[in-house]
């Protein structure tokens, strides 16, 4: 396998050079050595060394810090998040007291020792570089568990005994599925069987760590296939059991799939890259199995978007989404059922924009695209296209209480009342009436209306 030299950014070369000068061993490991051997973009660089955290800090006195007790030193090489590079002292892991974190981390002596406690063979490859005249050359590749061979065969395999590895740290169950999804690899049968067997252990893992993996899976190129793998491995049952309720729940005419398959297919064809939007696509019909009534042609799912929004929020809370992400998820599920009718008034379109939120309009349209293609109908329709145009147009004509042909002063004079919430209430009522029909925005008409709105 060849490595393109220009794939190593300057910030990485600088780090390698510092270690080279100090004559201390340093390897590129983890996702970055894996990425160097495949065509995948490397987002974050991981390094391993036999230097202790103290020694690493001394190598970068001005721009490094030590955050945790696991031997990882962060070196700041620029302003962005990706410019923080992590260097970890070789580890060897002893006993494990629970399924969350190793209870004991000891420094390892050799890179081989360090690689043996890593999760997957393709993540247990270490590459040592030498920088000469600002060019990088490979000096050594250490690959004790056949990671390169598995990369070639596109196989995900646990390092060592899978049962033992998944029991030591059960997040590895999910990492295996996430990385298989990202790379489009197949999980080797023994490892897969072990995931099925140990799937329940994922419940011991902190949801914050689970969220990281789920978001990486959702952000990958083939998130729908990832979800199917999560289901087939038995992990989904422990993460989002609500989704599985949709299996075998058939839908009325217009739909070719059951609720479960429709959820997967909507995710597949949702054309947003945002992981929260993709999660909303997956969960948009999550209320259907709860509210389903009737059979065959008479089947209905009344209120499923209301019930579904509440369930989606519960799932979002479980996954430790931020308040902002939760709000987005809730709105997208709550309002996904809009009908892009050509006869909608401007007011109705404005109401829709207010409910969904301007910043979420593209997202809800992406979910609609997924929803349509995932139901076996064309990507769009003339009505949907018209609706999209009107969403843009309506926003170009700002219309607020200030545009009414009467003011708060008029209200106070006519009703002989002083300033207070009543004035605002009446203006809001008038505004809503005018929004429904712009013809009503005439001074004389509104003055008459004010008299009638008293009390």
By CB under 6 A, name the binding residues for ligand ATP.
Answer: 30-31, 43-44, 46, 118-119, 123-124, 169, 171-172, 175, 216
Which listed option, ligand ATP, Mg ion, none, makes contact with residue 308 (CB within 5 to 8 Å by class)? Answer: none
Nearer to ligand ATP, 29 or 446 (CB): 29
Q: How far is 161 from 273, CA to CA, in rounded Å? A: 36
Minimum separation from the CB atom of position 123 to Mg ion (A): 9
Which residue's Cβ has the minimum distance to ligand ATP? 31
Nearer to ligand ATP, 46 or 410 (CB): 46
Nearer to ligand ATP, 7 or 422 (CB): 7
Which listed option, Mg ion, ligand ATP, none, makes contact with residue 171 (CB within 5 to 8 Å by class)? Answer: ligand ATP
Backbone angles phi, psi at 377, to 5 degrees: -110, 160
Residue by residue, what is the 3-state secondary structure of 321-357? CCHHHHHHHHHHHHCCCCCCCCCCCHHHHHHHHHHHC
Minimum separation from the CB atom of position 370 to ligand ATP (A): 25
The dihedral through the CA atoms of 217, 162, 89, 210 has a sign that is positive
Which listed option, Mg ion, ligand ATP, none, makes contact with residue 172 (CB within 5 to 8 Å by class)? Answer: ligand ATP
Which listed option, ligand ATP, Mg ion, none, makes contact with residue 123 (CB within 5 to 8 Å by class)? Answer: ligand ATP
Nearer to Mg ion, 123 or 266 (CB): 123
Which residue's Cβ has the minimum distance to Mg ion? 31
Between the alpha carbon of residue 152 and those of residues 146, 158, 185, 410, 448, the distances in Å are 10, 16, 10, 78, 80
Minimum separation from the CB atom of position 139 to ligand ATP (A): 20
Q: Does 46 bind Mg ion (CB under 5 A)?
A: yes
Nearer to Mg ion, 8 or 391 (CB): 8
DSSP 98: S
Backbone angles phi, psi at 350, to 5 degrees: -65, -40
Q: Which of 29, 31, 53, 224 binds Mg ion (CB under 5 A)?
A: 31
Asked if 188 contacts 154 with a C-beta cutoff of 8 angstroms, the reply is: no
Which listed option, ligand ATP, Mg ion, none, makes contact with residue 91 (CB within 5 to 8 Å by class)? Answer: none
Nearer to Mg ion, 29 or 312 (CB): 29
Nearer to ligand ATP, 46 or 265 (CB): 46
Q: How far is 149 from 121, CA to CA, in rounded Å? A: 9
Stretch of residues binding Mg ion (CB under 5 A), selected from 45-53, 67-75, 221-229, 439-447: 45-53
Q: How far is 136 from 40, CA to CA, in rounded Å? A: 19
Helix (H) or strand (E) holding 443: helix 443-453
Minimum separation from the CB atom of position 69 to Mg ion (A): 19
Stretch of residues binding Mg ion (CB under 5 A), selected from 26-34, 116-124, 343-351, 403-411: 26-34
Q: How far is 197 from 82, CA to CA, in rounded Å? A: 36
* Residue 389 exposed, middle or buried by CB count within 10 Å (0-12, 13-18, 19+): exposed
Tokens 């490859």 label which residue? Answer: 125
Q: How far is 182 from 221, CA to CA, in rounded Å? A: 7
Q: Does 44 bind Mg ion (CB under 5 A)?
A: yes
Residue 158 in 3-state DSSP? Answer: strand
Which listed option, Mg ion, ligand ATP, none, makes contact with residue 118 (CB within 5 to 8 Å by class)? Answer: ligand ATP
Residue 293 in 3-state DSSP? Answer: strand
Residues of this chain that interact with Mg ion (CB under 5 A) are 30-31, 44, 46
């Amino acid at each position: 396998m060849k490595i393109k030299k220009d794939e190593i950014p300057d910030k990485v070369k600088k780090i390698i050079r510092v270690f080279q000068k100090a004559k201390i061993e340093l390897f590129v490991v983890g996702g970055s050595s894996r990425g160097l051997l495949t065509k995948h973009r490397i987002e974050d660089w991981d390094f391993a060394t036999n230097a202790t955290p103290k020694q690493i800090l001394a190598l970068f006195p001005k721009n490094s810090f030590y955050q945790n007790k696991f031997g990882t030193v962060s070196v700041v090489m620029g302003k962005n998040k990706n410019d923080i590079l992590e260097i970890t002292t070789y580890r060897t892991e002893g006993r494990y007291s629970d399924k969350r974190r190793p209870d004991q981390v000891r420094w390892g002596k050799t890179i081989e020792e360090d690689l043996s406690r890593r999760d997957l063979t393709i993540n247990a490859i270490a590459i040592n570089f030498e920088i000469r005249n600002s060019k990088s050359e490979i000096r050594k590749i250490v690959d004790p568990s056949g990671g390169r061979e598995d990369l070639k065969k596109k196989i995900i395999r646990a390092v060592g005994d899978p049962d033992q590895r998944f029991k030591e740290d059960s997040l590895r169950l999910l990492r295996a599925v996430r990385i298989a999804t990202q790379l489009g690899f197949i999980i080797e049968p023994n490892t897969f069987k072990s995931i099925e067997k140990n799937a329940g252990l994922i419940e011991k893992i902190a949801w914050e760590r689970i969220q990281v993996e789920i978001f990486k899976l959702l952000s990958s190129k083939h998130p729908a296939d990832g979800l199917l793998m999560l289901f087939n491995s038995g992990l989904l049952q422990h993460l989002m059991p609500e989704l599985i309720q949709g299996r075998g729940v058939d839908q009325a005419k217009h739909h070719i799939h059951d609720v479960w398959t429709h959820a997967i297919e909507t995710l597949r064809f949702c054309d947003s890259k945002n992981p929260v939007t993709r999660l909303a696509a997956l969960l948009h019909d999550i209320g259907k199995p709860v509210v389903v009534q009737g059979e065959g042609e008479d089947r209905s799912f009344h209120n499923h978007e209301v019930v579904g929004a509440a369930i989606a929020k519960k799932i979002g809370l479980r996954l430790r989404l931020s308040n902002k992400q939760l709000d987005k998820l809730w709105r997208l599920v709550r309002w996904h059922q809009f009908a892009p009718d050509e006869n909608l008034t401007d007011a109705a379109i404005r109401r829709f924009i207010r409910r969904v939120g301007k910043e979420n309009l593209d997202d809800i349209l992406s979910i609609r695209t997924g929803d349509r293609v995932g139901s076996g109908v064309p990507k769009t329709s003339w009505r949907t296209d018209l609706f999209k145009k009107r969403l843009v147009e309506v926003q170009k004509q700002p219309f607020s209480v200030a545009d009414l042909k009467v003011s708060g002063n008029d209200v106070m004079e006519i009703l002989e009342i002083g300033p207070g919430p009543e004035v605002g209430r009446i203006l809001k009522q008038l505004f809503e009436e005018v929004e429904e029909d712009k013809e009503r925005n005439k001074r004389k008409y509104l003055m008459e209306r004010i008299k009638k709105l008293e009390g």
